């Protein structure tokens, strides 16, 4: 029997829920369209493809000709479709009922559009957790793909990873293909002839599988790849080289699954791809992890040690970033409410918003993850806020309730009516960590606390000039350090406190400078009519002559915060408010005082004797009016964070930070701040 190698080439196409239309259009122009049209020219080149549900719906609506082209390739047996959760959730992070619902919805949509019910599933970010096996099997999935690294972590021999293996959970069998890291780092970065030669060298009499499944965005969107893959002809050269080879057989995963037998049973640990395992770690542990990796590489032992230098797991993002954890627990809570409804009260709109709130991208951060991207978090909150409003319409909640939703050991107070909701910490800062306008479907407290990231050290070292591409190919973004924006040391400052709303301080002049005292509060008292939350400052402040009561109330379309206090006459009361405005530092947002346009949200502003601020945001489709009962000294500045993406280090505006202050000696009590929300 002659030597052969089966090439199982799969590509994964995805855009996050809420991504900009121009980004999707550009991705289609530079990647999805040329890839599909190239593959259509070579019917004998069989391949597999997964397109996430939200992206697929966009492509079907805007680019039907290319989707019909894909349908043609499916019908003639050239292309195999893979399923997944419809909005691309990390399946292990959502409730079982939603795992099954999401995968079934995706499979049904694919079968309707392309007449093929998928047998294989793509695991988002290749996050493996054995608990997802029963759900996948219940949806008719027979096999999935994960990295060969997952198998190495289970002690498997790298030389044996040439086909699929079998596992089980709760008596349900699922087959698993190990994706080759060697191919992931070669395709499409190494010259086509070299990749073909590498594949041919793997051929043997038992026709092993060369397994590749990775982001299609590598074929046109990643830096340098459009020119390399299409204009310089890498993809055509590769496809033609494979078809001309006497030993390489391009196959769909399903065909190989029927042709070959399992290579044995395997039980994989909970893990993801190598880079993700580093990204999940906080800065200090990530440095230790990175040092271990570098030392292992320097010693020439990394290939045999990497499976045991493992890093963290995907769920660490929920404990590492409070903002991610809060979104996740809000999503789980609303999933519970939705699924407790009788079937006749559930609607497709509710389900769609629930699934959109489970999209993975805004929950994590690495080279690609989108927690740092405000528009992706905004999409999650848009879905959560709208779903909550719909649920309240059919199954109303109490107007005030308390629970420890985020599992931090302290309760949060939920105070709402049909138009506005606030979530307030029960003690400590007594700050607002969520401020929802149901009419605008927006959380104005959707900001991000600046914290240290492991990669900030790279920015400080200014390593961009040291990047060198491979001698005969192009550079892999995983190995690059570059700068999209100019990063200065002050840009890398971190926050000691959450970036929330109504953080209070007393500021007292002391020996030529102003000393700020952070105000902390006792647990709240709930008014008997459940319409107000009352917080009293800690008794220790009375020693400094400070006695303060803060009250939160809700009125139609309005949040009212009042302060009743006594303080030394030389003191100022300062209130910090971090507002998430969708326009960020773009041209669609502007700030007005007394009819005068001061400028955009991304600029620094200062005014005295201010009674009212108007924030107009065209992206939001709304405006926020902030008024005070007594004139305030007003300052505003953008809150910028530094993060790393495939395009390099970049500064992103997370919020507009407002500081309002009043002289205690000039105040008439109580002081009242109102925030009212209107559509444009």
Catalytic residues: 125, 215
Encoding tokens for residue 656? 């507009």
Alpha-helical regions (H) of 283-418: 283-298, 302-305, 316-320, 322-340, 348-356, 374-394
SS3 452: coil
Nearest-angstrom CA–CA distance, 225 and 376: 25
How many CA atoms within 13 Å lie on the side-chain side of 389? 20
Q: Which helix (H) or strand (E) holds 275?
A: helix 274-279
Give the helix ranges, DSSP H, for 13-52: 21-27, 33-40
Q: What is d(CA 372, CA 362) in angstroms, rounded to the nearest whole number? A: 8
Using the CB atoms, write b or e for 486-509: b if 16+ within 10 Å. ebeeebbeeeeebbbbbbbbbbbe
Under a CB-based contact definition with an 8 Å cutoff, are residues 48 and 80 in contact?
yes
Three-class DSSP category at 666: helix
Tokens linked to 104:
């079934």
Structure tokens at 465: 């000039």
d(CA 475, CA 367): 15
Nearest alpha carbon to residue 212 among 165, 245, 178: 178
Token pair for residue 390? 């719909």
In the three-class reduction of DSSP (H, G, I as helix; E, B as strand; rest coil), residue 652 is classed as strand
Q: How far is CA 594 from the centre of its chain?
A: 38
* 8 A C-beta contact, residue 675 and residue 596: no
Q: How many CA atoms lie within 13 A of 517 on its CB side?
A: 24
Rounded CA separation 380/359 (Å):
8
Residues 265 and 165 sit within 8 Å (Cβ to Cβ): yes
**Alpha carbon of residue 16 to chain centroid:** 8
Spatial CA neighbour of 248 closest among 315, 307, 202: 202
How many C-beta neighbours within 10 Å does residue 679 have? 11
What is the tally of helices (H) and strands (E) in the chain? 20, 27
> Rounded distance, CA 283 to CA 291, Å?
12
- Which tokens sit at 452? 């240290």
Per the CB < 8 A criterion, the answer to whether 605 and 636 are in contact is yes
Token duo for residue 239: 């496809």
Closest by alpha carbon to 107, among 64, 146, 24, 50?
A: 50
């Amino acid at each position: 029997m002659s030597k052969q190698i089966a090439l199982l080439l799969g590509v994964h196409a995805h855009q996050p829920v809420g991504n900009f239309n121009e980004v999707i259009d550009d991705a289609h122009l530079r990647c999805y369209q040329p890839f599909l049209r190239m593959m259509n020219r070579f019917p004998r080149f069989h391949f597999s493809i997964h397109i996430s549900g939200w992206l697929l719906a966009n492509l079907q609506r805007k680019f039907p000709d290319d989707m019909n082209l894909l349908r043609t390739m499916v019908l003639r047996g050239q292309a195999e479709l893979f399923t997944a959760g419809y909005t691309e959730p990390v399946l292990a992070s959502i409730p079982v009922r939603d795992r099954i619902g999401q995968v079934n919805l995706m499979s049904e949509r694919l079968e309707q559009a392309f007449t093929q019910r998928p047998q294989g599933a793509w695991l988002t970010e290749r996050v493996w957790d054995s608990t997802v096996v029963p759900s996948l099997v219940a949806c008719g999935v027979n096999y999935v793909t994960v990295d060969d690294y997952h198998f190495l972590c289970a002690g498997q021999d790298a030389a044996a990873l040439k086909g699929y293996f079998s596992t089980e959970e709760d008596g349900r069998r699922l087959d698993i293909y190990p994706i080759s890291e060697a191919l992931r780092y070669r395709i499409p970065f190494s010259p086509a002839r070299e990749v073909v030669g590498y594949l041919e060298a793997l051929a043997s009499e038992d026709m092993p599988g060369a397994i590749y499944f990775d982001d299609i965005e590598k074929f046109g969107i990643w830096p340098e790849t459009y020119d390399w893959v299409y204009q310089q002809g890498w993809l055509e050269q590769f496809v033609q080289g494979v078809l001309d080879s006497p030993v390489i057989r391009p196959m769909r995963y399903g065909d190989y699954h029927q042709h070959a037998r399992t290579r044995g049973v395997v039980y994989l640990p909970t893990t993801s791809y190598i880079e993700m395992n580093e990204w999940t770690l906080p800065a200090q542990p990530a440095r230790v992890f990175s040092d271990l990796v570098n030392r292992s590489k320097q010693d020439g032992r990394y290939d045999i040690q990497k499976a045991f230098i493992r890093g963290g797991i995907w769920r660490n993002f929920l404990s590492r970033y409070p903002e991610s954890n809060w979104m996740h627990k809000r999503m789980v809570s609303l999933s519970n409410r939705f699924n407790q409804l009788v079937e006749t009260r559930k609607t497709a709109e509710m389900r769609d918003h629930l699934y959109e709130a489970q999209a993975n991208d805004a929950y994590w951060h690495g080279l690609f993850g989108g927690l740092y991207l405000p528009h992706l978090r905004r999409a999650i909150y848009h879905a959560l806020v709208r779903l909550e409003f719909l649920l309240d319409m059919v199954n109303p909640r109490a107007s005030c309730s308390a629970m420890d939703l985020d599992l931090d050991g302290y309760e949060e107070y939920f105070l709402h009516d049909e138009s506005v909701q606030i979530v307030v910490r029960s003690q400590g800062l007594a700050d607002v960590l969520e401020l929802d306008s149901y009419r605008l479907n927006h959380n104005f407290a959707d900001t991000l606390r600046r914290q240290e990231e492991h990669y900030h050290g790279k920015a400080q070292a200014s390593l961009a000039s040291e990047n060198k591409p491979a001698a005969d190919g192009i550079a892999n973004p995983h190995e690059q350090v570059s700068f999209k924006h100019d990063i200065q040391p002050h840009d890398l400052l971190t926050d000691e406190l959450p970036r929330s709303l109504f953080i209070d301080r007393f500021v007292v002049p002391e020996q030529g400078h102003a000393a700020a005292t952070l105000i902390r509060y006792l647990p709240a008292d709930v008014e008997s009519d459940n319409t107000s939350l009352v917080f009293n400052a800690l008794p220790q402040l009375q020693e400094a002559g400070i006695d303060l009561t803060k009250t939160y109330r809700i009125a139609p379309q309005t949040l009212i915060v009042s302060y009743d206090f006594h303080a030394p006459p030389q003191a100022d009361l300062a209130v910090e408010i971090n507002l998430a405005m969708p326009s960020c530092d773009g041209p669609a947002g502007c700030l007005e005082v007394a009819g005068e346009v001061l400028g955009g949200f991304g600029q620094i502003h200062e005014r005295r004797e201010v009674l009212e601020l108007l924030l107009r945001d065209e992206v939001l489709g709304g405006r926020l009016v902030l008024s005070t009962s007594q004139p305030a000294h007003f300052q505003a500045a953008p809150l910028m964070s530094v993060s790393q993406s495939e395009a390099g280090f970049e500064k992103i505006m997370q919020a507009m930070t407002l500081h309002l202050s009043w002289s205690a000696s000039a105040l008439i009590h109580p002081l009242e701040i109102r925030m009212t929300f209107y559509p444009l």
